[in-house]
Amino acid sequence: MTYSTLKLEQQNQIATVTLTRPEKRNAISSQMIQELMAAFDEVENGTARVVIITGSGKSFCAGMDLDGLRTIASQSLDENMADSRAMARMFYRIYEFPNPVIALVNGAAIAGGCGIATLADFTLAAPEAKLGYSEVRIGFIPALVSVFLRRQIGEKRATDLLLTGRIVDAAEALRIGLITEVVPAERLLERAHEIAAQLIAASPTSILRTKRLLRRFNEAEIRAEIELATRENAEIRATADFREGVASFLEKRDPKWSGQ
């Protein structure tokens, strides 16, 4: 398949997915969602046993594309539900992918971009990386990522990040369990290949079954929570605060919240 928002390379049982919209800080578009799903399908049907995902340029992924924000502010509930389900499927696909996934956070990983990074099995970040869920700052809701984040770092820490929308550096991200390691930027790929070599050296059957077991422990709960989060994600888009948040963000001004 030919991709326009990412590059997929496969060699020595390692598949590398690189987001290739550096001029947009690798922001998530509807096309990127479709291509990420297709890329993971292609990898699963191939011979790679480990997936590495990273971003080109100075960012990992800055969250939703600005053009996407403009569009969803005027969509119907049905359209927003469809968009929300597409995002949910992408997140869950990364989370439950049979083979191990390693994210290399080379720069900013914000909102949905932070979701992609932290849903990986291993998350390596450069010291200068910034991570966080900034949705509340623009009247949005970090609904889908909250399903997974509470389990990863605990409810108290997740509440802190999700309600304040604050951005943390790599050192704090490591301390609270948001990432696995802090690695110098020039060594990110090398370190990922070191981890991949460990994984490839192990029994492929054991790796697959161990990851499958880990995911099955809370599978029913997660699926139910994703459905709830999907609806919340869609419904907040019809609020006045969301429209004002998007408008103020695009116009680079302070928002004037109405609480509706």
Domains of the chain, start order: 6-186+197-201 (3.90.226.10)
Tell me what the mean pLDDT of segment 1-7 comes to. Answer: 94
**pLDDT per position as a tens digit, 62-98:** 998 877 877 887 888 899 999 999 999 999 999 999 9
Tell me what the mean pLDDT of segment 244-259 comes to. Answer: 93
- Report the pLDDT value the prediction gives residue 112, as an integer from 0 to 100: 94
Percent of the chain clearing pLDDT 70 (strictly above): 100
- Report the pLDDT value the prediction gives residue 73, as an integer from 0 to 100: 77
- Report the pLDDT value the prediction gives residue 68, as an integer from 0 to 100: 80
Q: pTM for the whole thing?
A: 0.95
- Report the pLDDT value the prediction gives residue 82, as an integer from 0 to 100: 94
Confidence tier at 130 by pLDDT (50, 70, 90): very high
Q: Which residue in 67, 174, 62, 170 sits closest to 115, CA to CA?
A: 62
- Report the pLDDT value the prediction gives residue 70, as an integer from 0 to 100: 77
Tell me what the mean pLDDT of segment 154-167 comes to. Answer: 97
- Report the pLDDT value the prediction gives residue 15, as an integer from 0 to 100: 98
- Report the pLDDT value the prediction gives residue 67, as an integer from 0 to 100: 77
Catalytically active residues are 135
Mean pLDDT over each residue of the chain, to the nearest integer = 95
**pLDDT per position as a tens digit, 173-215:** 999 999 999 999 999 999 999 999 999 999 999 999 999 999 9
